[in-house]
A and B are shown apart, each in its own frame.
Chain A
């Protein structure tokens, strides 16, 4: 440790350059993770706010909410308790005169079931009749106000926004909560005997008792959201590759520095300094570099997070970032293994000569 610190202090430029590389990598990894979690959050926020464990969908729907239908008969047979709720979902384009169109998801539900009953309103109030809706705060960010009357798709019917709710996003699109009747008319099925797209349940083992319906775990349903798994895999790979790149960078730099300093290590070995002490020097240097890089990278990330525009989905999960940092430290440790091995096995005579 003594030699490690002394050398870093003496060779400020060299080690400063290595640290700046690590800072950039750590920063990139942190930001990517934040984005990845932000995007994942926008896929699942609404589902998480419902607090459900399973979802019942039509067997033939290919686990897709928009392809699934629940009939009145099926709903009756399903013997719903307070722990179940029916939702009808359909993609809509919401617009108001002079405002931006917003592609959203309309969720129709029954006032006496938990989806609407437990809906957390951040401003305004709950809907009282089917002419009123509650929208995700994204609408507020885009300039919509309480009391605004919006049209959904091309129908003439107007719906008044009476409340906003936070974190109501499903598959990245903001949700408009309204009545089952509205959902039926949006689907063009006003006279059909259907009640929604799916039944969500707060219990894991709920059975709808119908051969055409199937219960899925909510985590499975989430993994089947369009694009969700692909997105996560992409980010996972990017982060994984950056980890490996950081390993290579630290290994290569330490290797070069070690090779340059080999004569010195040889002399120290000749003087009887144990190989372990010298190998520990390079390992602790690597860890010092990694820790400084991570700390500065984290500070940069925090600074970035505080100035990032609202529209960019970013969310920092401290446990995950901690694991990533530990991962990078392990990379540093592995990266110093080859140089440490070189030092431990240096032959004093070869280098000293004379």
Chain B
């Protein structure tokens, strides 16, 4: 069974003449163990797709289920729980609390979600893998864009979610870091059996993906990875 399944998703924004059809009959599913890439030009609806998949906004029509449960049928607090426990969001912007030091970002998760988070050793490994182990006493305001992005990734993975939804996680990273993040995501999928969905227009990540989808004019098509990389 797929952990995330979207069926016939349509999303409109606005009303009347300014009504835009952003997502058009989208079918999508992600399984454990898969790293899936969704690419497309700016404004094509990637973020919209990801927030619908994560239950942050509701589609105009269609059905979203996460781990077999239809999101539309969950209460607000059940959705909160789902996001807290099962989904790790790496958002395009503002992912960190500005007045918490890097290490306190994790402390805070521990306070709200008391179990199932990474332990100290696992967190240390993760930070090392992302190359941010020396930044734990820094405030987000003191980090570079790329460092912020890596801390945001660590923050999302710290809660040990089954599903990782990442929106442009590599936009501010150089090629070397991109490769590391790509490797990390691939490993999360393969060895820890998570479903990782990354929305991006960063073609450098394609080498790591198991599947790549392309959004164009609101329609989603599966792409041959090798062909796209060229």
- Measured CB to CB, the residues of A under 8 A from B are 2-3, 6-7, 9-11, 263-264, 266-275, 277, 347-349, 351-354
A273 touches B139 (CB 8 A): no
Give 30 pairs: A residue, B residue, CB < 8 Å, sorted on A.
A2-B107, A2-B111, A3-B108, A6-B97, A6-B104, A11-B99, A263-B94, A264-B94, A267-B91, A267-B94, A269-B80, A270-B89, A270-B91, A271-B83, A272-B79, A272-B80, A272-B87, A273-B80, A273-B112, A274-B84, A277-B112, A348-B51, A351-B94, A352-B47, A352-B94, A353-B92, A354-B91, A354-B92, A354-B93, A354-B168
List the A side residues contacting B41 at CB < 8 Å: none
How close is A15's CB to chain B, nearest CB, in angstroms? 11
Partner of B139, one of A10, A348, A354: A10
B99 touches A348 (CB 8 A): no
Partner of A267, one of B51, B54, B95, B108: B95
Residue of A nearest to B77 (CB): A274
Instruction: Report the bound CA distance from A348 to B80 in whole Å.
Output: 11
Instruction: Report the bound CA distance from A113 to B54 in whole Å.
Output: 88
> Is there a chain A Cβ closer than 8 Å to B5's Cβ?
no
List the B side residues contacting A272 at CB < 8 Å: 79-85, 87
Instruction: Report the bound CA distance from A264 to B51 in whole Å.
Output: 17
B47 touches A353 (CB 8 A): yes
How close is A259's CB to chain B, nearest CB, in angstroms? 15
- Measured CB to CB, the residues of B under 8 A from A are 47, 51, 54, 56-57, 76-77, 79-85, 87, 89, 91-95, 97-100, 104, 107-108, 111-112, 139, 156, 167-168
List the B side residues contacting A266 at CB < 8 Å: 94
Instruction: Report the bound CA distance from A250 to B77 in whole Å.
Output: 29
Residue of A nearest to B98 (CB): A264
List the A side residues contacting B83 at CB < 8 Å: 270-272
Residue of B nearest to A2 (CB): B111
List the B side residues contacting A3 at CB < 8 Å: 97, 99-100, 108
B99 touches A6 (CB 8 A): yes
A264 touches B47 (CB 8 A): no
Instruction: Report the bound CA distance from A7 to B108 in whole Å.
Output: 12
B100 touches A6 (CB 8 A): yes
Assuming the contacts A6-B100, A270-B56, asked whether A352 and B91 have C-beta atoms less than 8 A apart, the reply is yes
Residue of A nearest to B156 (CB): A271
B80 touches A275 (CB 8 A): yes
List the B side residues contacting A9 at CB < 8 Å: 99
A273 touches B84 (CB 8 A): yes
Question: A2, A9, A263, A275: which has the most chain B beta carbons within 10 Å?
Answer: A2
List the B side residues contacting A271 at CB < 8 Å: 83-84, 89, 156
Instruction: Report the bound CA distance from A277 to B84 in whole Å.
Output: 13
B91 touches A268 (CB 8 A): no
B93 touches A264 (CB 8 A): no
Partner of A352, one of B92, B104, B107, B112: B92
Instruction: Report the bound CA distance from A263 to B98 in whole Å.
Output: 11
How close is A252's CB to chain B, nearest CB, in angstroms? 21
Assuming the contacts A10-B99, A270-B56, A349-B56, asked whether A2 and B80 have C-beta atoms less than 8 A apart, the reply is no
How close is B111's CB to chain A, nearest CB, in angstroms? 5
Additional pairs, 10, CB under 8 Å, beyond known A266-B94, A277-B112: A9-B99, A263-B94, A264-B98, A269-B80, A270-B54, A270-B56, A272-B82, A349-B51, A353-B93, A354-B93
Residue of A nearest to B91 (CB): A352
A354 touches B167 (CB 8 A): yes
Question: A6, A11, A352, A353: which has the most chain B beta carbons within 10 Å?
Answer: A352
Residue of B nearest to A9 (CB): B99
How close is B230's CB to chain A, nearest CB, in angstroms? 28
